[in-house]
Amino acid sequence: AHSNAKCILATSVLKKGVVKIKEFMLSEREIRFQSLGIYGLLVGLPNTGKSTTMNALKRLALLASKTRYDSRGMMAGVSRAQARVTMSPGTTELIRAYQLSHNPTLYLVDTPGVTFHKDKSNPERNLKLAAVGTFPDHIFGELYIADYILWRLNNARLFQYVSVCGLSGGPTNDIRSVCREIAFQLTNDPCRDSGAMDVLSGARTFLKFYRNGLLGRYCLDALPSEGELSRYNDLVEEAEPPGPWGPNAYPLDERAAILTSYS
């Protein structure tokens, strides 16, 4: 259904490709009413950079207004207000429109994150969302999330955490020992074996290491290869009936197997 949807690759942190978002908004929509202009809506999971993207577009427009490019009064009368941004999910609580330019009139609406409820039938999906910070960590438990990340890193043979966390014994599956070692590095407490190490603070630091990319860049979802996608598209075409009656059987078993493996 979304095969013709346009995907724009941009990063607000590295300030790359952000201008493409504005160009897309202006090229894909015609201004029907000059007094209203064009409105864009930022929608996504919590803590995934919606407000950061909006602020990057705002700064880009303000920077352009200081150059000769602003001969048309692009930023005339536009407020410098920006969205509040923090590292915690749920910072944006209200829907608010921010004006990006005056000529043409362009608005971008910042919205709170759209979240999913816990799915008891799919606990790993919940942990994936928690691992990337779309939920407050205390909902699932910092130690529980850190244990899941450690398990995924070991399965992917990514052992950067050994050097980053200062582990002397090499890779391990014991998240508590990892967190105790991190806590010892943070506090430099001589009572290493007293059991007084703050495991929770170590788990929080471990999560921070992972989310900042210090433990290796790793996708938690299984991404299909080009051959698998091509085969899936062929199966979809084969499964479509040629007419109102259609054949009695289609190769749905193989198609269902592919869908199940990536659901």
pLDDT in tens, the chain (263 residues): 445 677 888 887 777 888 888 888 877 777 777 677 788 888 888 888 888 888 888 887 777 666 655 555 566 666 666 677 766 676 777 788 888 777 777 888 888 878 766 667 777 888 888 888 888 888 888 999 999 999 999 998 999 999 998 888 889 999 999 998 888 888 765 555 544 458 888 999 999 999 888 998 888 887 777 887 788 777 766 655 554 444 444 444 554 555 555 55
**pLDDT attached to residue 136:** 83
- Please name which of 133, 153, 155 lies closest in space to residue 204, comparing C-alpha atoms: 133
Three-state DSSP at 53 gives helix
**pLDDT attached to residue 149:** 93
CA 253 to chain centre: 33
Strand partners, 107: 39, 99
Q: Which residues contact 183 (CB under 8 A, 6 or more apart)?
A: 189, 197, 198, 199, 201, 202, 205
CA distance 149 to 124: 11
**pLDDT attached to residue 246:** 46
Residue 154's Cβ-count burial label (10 Å; 0-12, 13-18, 19+) is: middle
**pLDDT attached to residue 96:** 81
**pLDDT attached to residue 43:** 86
Residue 212's Cβ-count burial label (10 Å; 0-12, 13-18, 19+) is: exposed
